[in-house]
Structure 1
Amino acid sequence: MTEQSTAATLSEHWQQVYRRLHAHPELSGEEHATAALVAEELRALPGWEVTENVGGTGVVGVLHSGPGPVIWLRADMDGLPVQEETGLDYASTVPGVMHACGHDVHVTALLGTCAELAANPLPGTVVALFQPAEETGSGAQGMLNDGLLERFPHPRIVLGQHVGPLPAGLVLSKPGTLMAASDSVRVTFLGKGGHASQPHTAIDPLLMAASLVLRLQSLAARQTATALSPVLTAGALHAGTRPNIIADTSEVLLSLRTFTDGSRNRMVEGIQRLAEAEAAAAGAPQEPKVEFYDHFPVTENTPGDTERVLASLSAANLPVMPMNHPITGSEDFGAFGTAAKVPSVFWHIGGIDPARFTEEDQIHMLTEGALPERFPSNHSPHFAPDPALALPAAITTMVTAARAELERPTMAE
């Protein structure tokens, strides 16, 4: 990288942009101030054409630098309904909302990447996608439904990255299946309310819900023979308003992660069957309502293209570690490459000071393929990447990958 490029990467400006984003998170589909900031920053850069309100609050920037390949670079923008507990001096000022998944890193890093590609352009076209509503699995498809493929240059490849509690700059990825599919599930039980002193006159939906949660713990273990087992987690159980009232209804919210269509189908059928069985056993007046929503597809990295991108990072002396197996987190990034019918490559990048990782931690990551538990994970109220290290690393990594793809001869497609 040039001296000018390095200076841009390390610019204090991006640290301030990051802090501003972190302090003002917005939920999925409500990223109005975030999108406005993105558009303002892009318009301040030479050569970038900016389109707002794509698929809701999405922002698309296009940098034309002469004939050559077209690449798409993607960052997601939304925060989560989490009360921040990091104690940072730039912590969220929005009660109950936090950038607990690092999307503020993604946005700032892509803006920094846009600045570097404008300062040191290569022949070709770069399309920067600032996507809303990743956390609900609807943002990528929303941009596509708004004519993304018809309104902007068609890509040869789509690149994306995600920060996590790894040593800053460390890149983890693999070809093929990288991340799980995901479904949110709502199970609503209908009972018969009554007085807590006379439970025999009621049909208690809370008991149905509690029994279902316990029974579901065995479903993933008993319903699959594949090496990539599904994960089913109960995230919420809602019923009642007072200790002396038996409620009429109860609600269970579940998160389902699967790696194959067959596994998902078995789990979907099993959840429905067990919910209906609980209601029948309790003598419920109606069958339960089971709803599946916020679906994320499996994230697939295109073989060949993934190895090439990771090799370009390694050739630039960036630390790359291959993943032994997919992770059970989920993303809607893959919708772009699937819709465009082009390769896509996604990687995870560390955002934590490497000095905090001991030799034992590194051995644990290599042998177990998992992070030490003392580091807060994404979606934790304590998740806090170190922007002074995470941002230069994420910008450098995306710039390196983007430049390598722009420099790749068109005839190699």
Structure 2
Amino acid sequence: MNKKCRLVTLSSVGFSLMLSGSIFAHGGEHAGLTEQINTDYKVHLAPLFKHFHQNPELSTVENKTADRMAKELRDAGFDVTENVGGTGVVAILENGDGPLVSMRADMDGLPVEEKSGLPYASTAKQVDPITGNDVFVMHACGHDVHITSLVGTARRMQAMKDEWSGTLMLIVQPAEERVLGAKAMMDDGLYERFGTPDFGLAFHVSSGLEAGKIAVTDGSPYAGADTVDIIIHGVGAHGASPHAGKDPIVLGSQIVLALQTLVSRELPPRDPGVVTVGSFHSGTKHNIISDRAVLQLTVRNTSKATRKVLLDGIKRIAENMGRVAGLPDDKLPEVIVSNESVPPTNNNPELAQRLRALWIKEMGEEIISKKPNKGMGAEDYPFFTTEPYIPSVYFGVGGTPEADFKSAKAGGAPIPSHHSPLFKITPEPAVKTGVEATVHALLELLPSSKITKNN
């Protein structure tokens, strides 16, 4: 249960009212918001972004980033709790009666050496908690945009306290890149300690979208994902005597090819799914047949039914290809599904439509990107919104100037993808759009005291 009494509940009547009623419309009340964000970016957010970009930290060890975020949010007037689910930070601003709305930003970087050529490129190194190696670290997925925008949002919502009512929860999440942080925060009693949100928001910057644009879907912007290992047991032998062994490389190759039929032949053509074998390891020398091979897979889905078809199919194919190779039951391939698994991210359709209309009204029709979402990337944000169910919207914010897309189309340099050492975002339009879109959404969902009293 939430710790404070709120005027809005998730009953069917209350929820319908919040989504369809006009009591949350702000019209042109916030015409000066863009100018305020412009000023704050020049003075505070631009240097903050560069600080985060030059000082990235790996998943689960984002200690300095968390410290800086805690300071920034305290300075913005929020009640801040640190070390939630590891390095996670939760900032609360109570502002009278009303709903509780959460906004999440992830903060971890990646073990990638930056080669973007930016004057403020990261040269940071850190000990990888997985391998123990000293590695280069880079914000190669734009999380520096997310946390900078969250600070900008906090500062604007504090400055506009007389225009909204309720409770704002800002979540600074660790370890998204390893899909561990959201679950860790939930396991640490996030909602029991701070209240269960009535609505949830999050966004991701995208190098594939034009800077300053917003992308929002009524359905699933991100897929569910599973990490799967297949351990193949063989019988070792001399390379000149293959008949004396059971070659796990040949068997592994047959499994890889057979897996390609899962999506093409077992899923309906309009039901998306992905099975990718990203790693195949076996053997030590030219003339030795190994006794073991390991395949590493990522498996993507957009529904529980699709997930079951794919995971069941992987197990069936691997085991039965082992039987085809003549392996006994105690040496059949083992299929191991990792706990690094996330469900699909599903936007609440009514809320997505409401916010899309709001953003068009407040920021102009051209703000909404027309590009279709064709990716199957995954997110751990659903751990915040699935159990219990929280109506939520996860939207995209563009990070690449339109001129760069035109240049790439004309044969110039291609647009670097996320997780690439060449990845870069143009921070000013991305950060400012993230702040403005979020603030408008929060003002829509947190009714002002004046509106509350009149309704």
Q: TM-score, normalised by structure 2?
A: 0.81
Counterpart of 2:175 in structure 1 is 133
Match of 1:368 in 2: none
Residue of structure 1 in register with 2:22 after alignment: none
Q: Following TM superposition, by how much is the alpha carbon of 1:338 offset from its aligned partner in structure 2, in angstroms? A: 2.4
Identical amino acids, percent of aligned pairs:
38
8 Å contact from structure 1 (residues 49, 62) kept in 2: yes
Give the structure with higher Rg (CA). 2
CA 1:353–1:59: 2 relative to 1, 3 Å: same
C-alpha spacing 1:91/1:410, structure 2 compared with 1 (3 Å): same
Q: How does 1:160-171 map to 2 (within 5 A)?
A: 160-165=202-207, 166-171=209-214
Tell me the residue number matched to 1:397.
437
**Alignment-mate amino acid for residue 217 of structure 1:** Q
Q: Is the 8 A contact 1:149 1:340 kept in 2?
A: no
User: Counterpart of 2:363?
Assistant: 317
User: Unaligned stretches of 5+ in structure 1?
Assistant: 362-371
Task: Decide whether the 8 Å contact of 2:92 with 2:169 is kept in 1.
Answer: yes
1:9–1:395 CA contact under 8 A, matched in 2: no
Alignment of 1:65-144 (within 5 A): 65-92=95-122, 93-94=124-125, 95-121=135-161, 122-144=164-186
Partner of 2:86: 56
| Equivalent runs, 1:152-301 vs 2, <5 Å | 152-165=194-207, 166-284=209-327, 286-293=331-338, 294-301=340-347
CA distance in 2, matches of 1:412, 1:29: 46
Q: Matches of 2:34 and 2:114 in 1, distance apart?
A: 37
Return the offset for 1:7.
4.2
- Work out whether residues 75 and 106 of structure 1, in 8 Å CA contact, stay in contact via their aligned partners in 2: yes
1:342 matches 2:390: yes
Q: What is the deviation of 1:326?
A: 6.6
The whole-number CA distance in structure 1 between the counterparts of 2:420 and 2:454 is: 43
Distance 1:202 1:48, change over 3 A: same
In the TM superposition, residue 386 of structure 1 has moved relative to its aligned partner by 1.1
Once the two structures are TM-superposed, the CA of residue 304 in structure 1 deviates from its matched residue by 1.4
Distance 1:2 1:96, change over 3 A: closer
Residue 333 (structure 1) aligned to one of 381, 394, 398: 381
Return closer, same or farther for 1:20/1:289 CA change in 2, 3 Å cut-off.
farther
User: Any idea what the Cα deviations from partners look like across 1:221-259, whole Å, max 9, x if unmatched?
Assistant: 011115122111111112233334333321111111112
* Distance (Å, rounded) in 2 between the aligned partners of 1:325 and 1:351: 15
- In the TM superposition, residue 143 of structure 1 has moved relative to its aligned partner by 0.9
Give the secondary structure class of the aligned counterpart of 1:300: coil
Structure 1 residue 48: Cα displacement: 0.8
* Partners of 2:34 and 2:110 in 1: CA distance: 37
Q: Which runs of 5 or more residues in structure 2 are unaligned?
A: 1-31, 126-134
Once the two structures are superposed, what CA deviation does each residue of 1:159-189 show, in whole Å capped at 9, x if it has no partner? Answer: 1101112111211112133322111111111
The residue aligned with 1:23 is 54
**1 CA distance for matches of 2:413 and 2:357?**
30
| Residue identity in the other structure for 1:266 | V
Q: Give the secondary structure class of the aligned counterpart of 2:197.
A: coil
Q: 1:239 to 1:394 in 2, by over 3 A?
A: same
CA positional deviation for 1:31: 1.8
Aligned residues: 403
Say which of 403, 413, 419 aligns to 1:355: 403
Match of 1:308 in 2: 354
Matched, 1:40 2:88: no
Match of 1:146 in 2: 188
What secondary structure does 1:299 align onto?
coil
- Structure 1 residue 384: Cα displacement: 0.9
Change (3 A) 1:4 1:171: closer
TM-score, normalising length: structure 1: 0.89
Shift in alpha-carbon separation, 1:82–1:2, aligned structure 2, 3 A: closer
Corresponding residue of 2:415: 375
User: 2:112 corresponds to which letter in structure 1?
Assistant: V
- 8 Å CA contact retained: 1:9, 1:392: no
Greater shift, 282-291 or 265-274, is seen at 282-291
Instruction: Tell me if structure 2 keeps the 8 A contact 1:8–1:115.
Output: no
How big is the alpha-carbon RMSD for the aligned residues of Structure 1 and Structure 2? 2.7
| Offset at residue 52 of structure 1 (A) | 0.7
> Deviation string for 1:12-56 (max 9, x for gaps)?
5322322232233333222222212211222222x2111011111
Code of the residue aligned with 1:316 in structure 2: it is E
Q: Distance in 2 between matches of 1:193 and 1:387?
A: 54
Q: Please say if residues 205 and 399 of structure 2, whose CA atoms lie closer than 8 Å, have aligned partners that are also in contact.
A: yes
Identify the range of structure 1 (322-331 vs 201-210) with the bigger mean alpha-carbon deviation: 322-331
Equivalent position SS for 1:163:
strand
Contact 2:37 2:435 in 1 (8 A): no
Describe the shift of the 1:30–1:274 C-alpha distance in structure 2 as closer, same or farther (beyond 3 A): same
Name the CA shift for 1:197/1:348 in 2 (closer, same or farther; >3 Å).
same
Structure 1 contact 28–78 (Cα < 8 Å) conserved: yes
CA contact (8 A) 1:5 1:119 kept: no
Question: Greater CA deviation, 279-288 or 223-232?
Answer: 279-288
